[in-house]
Structure 1
Amino acid sequence: MLQSEISNAHTLTDEIRSELIGNREIHDGPWGPRPLVYADYTASGRAVERIENYIRAQVLPTYANTHTEASLCGQRTGFLREAARTMIAEVCNAGDEDAVIFTGGGATAAINKLIALLDLDQGVGPEPLILLGPYEHHSNILPWRETGVEIRVVPEAETGGPDMNALSRLLEKASGRRVIASFAAASNVTGILTDVDAVSALLHRHGALALWDYAAGAPYLPIDMNPETPGAWKDAVFFSPHKFVGGPGASGVLILKRRLVCRPKPSQPGGGTVRFVSPYVHDYVDDLVAREEAGTPNIIGDIRAGLVMKLREDIGLDTIARRDHELRTRALEAWSSVSGLELLGNRLAKALPIFVFRIRNGNGEYVHHQLVTRMLSDVFGVQARGGCACAGPYAHQLLRISDKDSADLRRRILDGDELAKPGWVRLNLSYIMDDQEVDYIVDAVRWVANHAGDLEKFYKCDPHTARFTHRDESIKKAMPANGLLELSGREDARREVCTDLGSMFRDRCRSMEQVFCRGCSDRAG
Structure 2
Amino acid sequence: MIAIENIRKDFPILNRTVNGQPLVYFDNAATSQTPQQVIDVIVDYYQNYNANIHRGVHSLSQEATDKYEEARIKIQKHFNAAKSYEIIFTSGTTHSINLVANGFTSLLQAEDEIIVSALEHHSNIVPWQMLCERTGAILKVIPMTTEGTLDLATYETLLSEKTKLVFCNHVSNALGTINPIEAIITKAHKVGAAVLVDGAQAAPHIKADVQALDVDFYVTSAHKMCGPTGVGMLYGKESWLKKLPPYQGGGEMIAEVTFEKTTYADLPHKFEAGTPNICGGIAFGAAIDYMNQIGFDAIASYEHELLDYATEKLATIDGLRIYGPKETNLKASVISFNIEGVHPYDMGVILDKLGIAVRTGHHCAQPIMDFYCIPGTVRASFAFYNTKAEIDTLVAGVERAANMLR
- State the AA in 2 paired with 1:20: F
Deviation at 1:265, TM superposition (A): 4.4
Report how far residue 59 of structure 1 moved: 5.8
1:111 corresponds to which residue? Answer: 97
Which of 381, 390, 398 is equivalent to 1:428? 381
Following superposition, the deviation at residue 264 of structure 1 comes to 7.2
Q: Which amino acid aligns with 2:401?
A: V
Residue in structure 1 matching 2:222, options 218, 223, 241: 241
What residue identity is the alignment partner of 1:152? K
d(CA) in 1 for partners of 2:151 and 2:125?
18
Structure with greater Cα Rg? 1
Question: Could you report, residue by residue, the CA deviation over 1:177-220 in whole angstroms, capped at 9, with x for unpaired residues?
Answer: 24211001000011010122222122212222121001111111
Residue 342 of structure 2 corresponds to 367
Secondary structure of 1:51 counterpart: helix
Q: Deviations 1:380-429 (Å, cap 9, x if unpaired)?
A: 100111110000111111236xxxxxxxxxxxxxxxxxxxxx21211212
Q: How does 1:293-308 map to 2 (within 5 A)?
A: 293-308=272-287
Task: Please give the secondary structure, in 2, of the residue aligned with 1:22.
Answer: helix
Task: Please give the alpha-carbon distance, in whole angstroms, between the structure 1 residues aligned to 2:15 and 2:250.
Answer: 44
Separation (CA, whole Å) in 2 of partners of 1:387 and 1:451: 20
Partner Cα distance (1:156, 1:145) in 2: 19
Instruction: Determine if contact 1:120/1:128 at 8 Å carries over to the other structure.
Output: no
Compared with structure 1, are the counterparts of its residues 88 and 264 closer, same or farther at alpha carbon in structure 2 (3 Å cutoff)? closer
From 264, 284, 296, give the equivalent of 1:317.
Answer: 296
Q: Which runs of 4+ in 1 moved over 4 A?
A: 120-123, 157-160, 262-265
Distance 1:67 1:48, change over 3 A: same
TM, length-normalised to structure 1: 0.72
Q: 1:176-255 alignment to 2 at 5 Å? A: 177-227=162-212, 232-245=213-226, 247-249=227-229, 251-255=231-235
Match of 1:94? 81
Question: How far apart are residue 122 of structure 1 and its match?
Answer: 4.5
Query: How much does 1:248 deviate?
Result: 3.0
Question: Is the contact made by 2:198 and 2:220 (CA closer than 8 Å) also made in structure 1?
Answer: yes
| Structure 1 match to 2:31 | 44
Matches of 1:76 and 1:267, distance apart in 2: 28
SS at match of 2:383: coil
Deviation at 1:326, TM superposition (A): 1.1
Where do residues 73-92 of structure 1 align in structure 2 (5 Å cutoff)?
A: 73-92=60-79
CA distance in 2, matches of 1:326, 1:372: 25
Distance 1:133 1:98, change over 3 A: farther
Among 151, 154, 161, the residue aligned to 2:142: 154
Match of 2:128 in 1: 144
In the alignment, which of 146, 149, 158 is matched to residue 170 of structure 1?
158
Task: Classify 1:448/1:384 alpha carbon distance in 2 versus 1 (closer, same or farther; 3 Å).
Answer: same
**In structure 2, C-alpha distance between the alignment counterparts of 1:309 and 1:117, rounded to whole Å:** 28
AA aligned opposite 2:219: F
Output the amino acid matched with 1:296.
T
User: Normalised by the size of structure 2, how large is the TM-score?
Assistant: 0.93
Q: How far 1:120 moved relative to its partner?
A: 4.8
**Residue 19, structure 1, aligned to residue 10, structure 2:** yes
Instruction: Number of aligned residue pairs: give it.
Output: 401
Q: Describe the SS at the equivalent of 2:139.
A: strand
- Mapped partners of 1:98, 1:78: distance in 2: 15
Matched with 2:111 is 127
CA shift for structure 1 position 337: 2.4
2:206 and 2:152 map into 1 onto residues whose CA distance is: 21
Aligned match of 2:246: 266
How does 1:354-433 map onto structure 2 within 5 Å?
354-360=334-340, 366-378=341-353, 380-399=354-373, 422-433=375-386
**CA offsets 1:292-336 (integer angstroms, 9 cap, x no match):** 100000111111111112222111111111112211111111111
8 Å CA contact retained: 1:84, 1:303 = yes
CA separation of 1:21 and 1:226: change in aligned 2, threshold 3 A: same
Report if aligned partners of 1:273, 1:291 keep a CA contact under 8 Å in 2.
yes
Per-residue CA distance 1:423-445 (angstroms, 9 max, x = gap): 12112122211332232223322
The aligned residue for residue 332 of structure 2 is: 352
Give, in angstroms, the shift of residue 150 of structure 1: 0.9
Deviation track 1:118-140 (CA, whole Å, cap 9, x = no partner) reads 335544xx632111112100000
Q: Is the 8 A contact 2:76 2:87 kept in 1?
A: yes
Shifted more, 251-260 versus 136-145: the winner is 251-260
**Residues 259/343 of structure 1: CA separation in 2 closer, same or farther (3 Å cut):** same
Q: Which amino acid aligns with 1:47?
A: T
1:190·1:355 contact (CA, 8 Å) conserved in 2?
yes
Q: Deviations over 1:328-350 (max 9, x none)?
A: 11111111121132222232361
**Equivalent runs, 1:433-452 vs 2, <5 Å:** 433-452=386-405
- Matching of residues 320-335 of structure 1 within 5 Å: 320-335=299-314
Alignment of 1:455-474 (within 5 A): none
Q: Which letter maps to 1:156?
A: M
Q: Which runs of 5+ in 1 are unaligned?
A: 1-5, 361-365, 401-421, 454-525
- Relative distance call for 1:298 and 1:144 in structure 2 (3 A) is same
1:38–1:384: 8 Å Cα contact kept in structure 2?
A: yes
Amino acid at match of 1:266: P
**RCO higher in structure (CA 8 A, sep ≥6):** 2
Measure, in 2, the Cα distance between the counterparts of 1:159 and 1:369.
Answer: 20
Q: Return 5+ residue gaps in structure 2 as ranges.
A: none
CA gap of 1:329–1:288, structure 2 versus 1, over 3 A, is same
